[in-house]
Amino acid sequence: MQQVAINGYGTIGKRVADAVRQQPDMEVLGVAKTRPNFEAETAIDKGFPLYAAVEERTELFAEAGLEIAGPVEDLVAEADVVVDATPSGIGAQNKALYEEYDTPALYQGGEDADLVDVSFNARSNFEDAVDADHVRVVSCNTTGLSRVIAPLREEYGVEKVRATLVRRGGDPGQSDRGPINDILPNPVTIPSHHGPDVETIFPDLDIDTLGMKVPATLMHMHSLNVTLEEDVDAADVRNLFADESRLFLIPERMDIDGSGKLKEYALDAGRPRGDLWENCLWAESISTEGRDFYCFQGIHQESDVVPENVDAIRAVTGAADAEESIATTDEALGIGLR
């Protein structure tokens, strides 16, 4: 059993902790937090040993009546792998800690690519992360793009990707984010940083991305155009994608017209927190015109990177190959909406 530490128990960290716990070959050794809040209380209720991420704040937990198992250093020292799910930029500050204890570390998409040896997407470049010490699980948007690009590249070859990313202003719990009543080109410069980020997974890919932010919290929406290296038929692309467990082709019969109904469906289906770990592609939107492919996909920013973190744990520990890891993760979580 791989012993996994989770440093940073917020939106991503708490989901990764639950996902790790569901795997047959790994255990949550503990989770580290900076302050006692509702998430700290939930961690204790779930039986996750809680460690103090910042020494000077340890007594805040005692004042809140929460038992601390020790300082984060103890957790990192004991762990086989640490998943750093702290806010952007804090992972970089924590790198020295992981190096001090010689514990392989996974970082999230908010960190710079040059912090790590490998940027990771399980479907696209699992092998690059085998036995690496510092791996970055790419952002929700980059994960969503990579999962579509990988099979298209393998099957048809990709000449050029153009993607417009309509991004949620903040997560549901982020009461300080916006816009509240606006539509922002964000960033206003083109290309957005997402294209270069996808190139950390596919270094030779030609991709341009445009970003916007809108007053929504549920999901991102991607409008995609990929020019392939050969003429393609939309039905063939649909069949190709149907074999990909992390691509959910929303069937027309379900009458799901947007992010709201997608989330409702996930909740009705009993998904924890209404999470949608898969890219959600509208099957009807999959269209082709000669070598050009088009589609719309919804990306649940809070959860699509969660199975990727689980797979990255197996990659850095050499515990499984890509196919085996993805299958194990999918089965343990129940991934594969149809």
Which residues lie near ligand NAD (CB under 6 A)? 7-13, 32-35, 39, 53-54, 85-88, 90, 108-111, 139-140, 171, 301-302, 305
193 assigned binding-site residue: no
168 assigned binding-site residue: yes
Which residue lies nearer to ligand NAD by CB, 7 or 23? 7
Sign of CA dihedral 133, 138, 140, 146: negative
Which residue lies nearer to ligand NAD by CB, 107 or 293? 107
Q: Is 280 a catalytic residue?
A: no
- Minimal CB distance residue for ligand NAD: 10
Give the bridge partners for 52, in sequence order.
33, 71
Least CB distance to ligand NAD at residue 155 (A): 27
Which residue lies nearer to ligand NAD by CB, 110 or 179? 110
Answer for the pair 277, 333: CB distance below 8 angstroms, yes or no: yes
Least CB distance to ligand NAD at residue 12 (A): 4
Which residue lies nearer to ligand NAD by CB, 245 or 301? 301
Q: Of 257, 260, 258, 283, whose CA–CA distance to 337 is shortest?
A: 283
Three-state secondary structure readout of the chain: CEEEEEECCCHHHHHHHHHHHCCCCEEEEEEEECCCCHHHHHHHHCCCCEEECCHHHHHHHHHCCCCCCEEHHHHHHHCCEEEECCCCCHHHHHHHHHHHCCCCEEECCCCCHHHCCEEECHHHHHHHHCCCCEEEECCHHHHHHHHHHHHHHHHCCEEEEEEEEEEECCCCCCCCCCCCCCCEECCCCCCCCHHHHHCCCCCCCCEEEEEEEECCCCCEEEEEEEEECCCCCHHHHHHHHHCCCCEEEECHHHCCCCHHHHHHHHHHCCCHHHCCCCEEEEHHHCEEECCEEEEEEEECCCCCCHHHHHHHHHHHHCCCCHHHHHHHHHHHHCCCCC
Least CB distance to ligand NAD at residue 116 (A): 12
CA distance 231 to 189: 32
Least CB distance to ligand NAD at residue 159 (A): 28
Which residue lies nearer to ligand NAD by CB, 214 or 283? 214
334 assigned binding-site residue: no
Least CB distance to ligand NAD at residue 177 (A): 10
110 assigned binding-site residue: yes
Least CB distance to ligand NAD at residue 299 (A): 9
183 assigned binding-site residue: no
Which residue lies nearer to ligand NAD by CB, 115 or 184? 115
Pick the catalytic residue from 82, 106, 122, 140: 140
Answer for the pair 248, 276: CB distance below 8 angstroms, yes or no: yes
178 assigned binding-site residue: no
Report the binding-site residues for NAD(+): 11-12, 110, 168, 301
Would you name the residues annotated as active-site residues?
140
- Binding residue ranges: 11-12, 110, 139-141, 168, 194-195, 301
Cite the annotated binding site for D-glyceraldehyde 3-phosphate by residue number: 139-141, 194-195
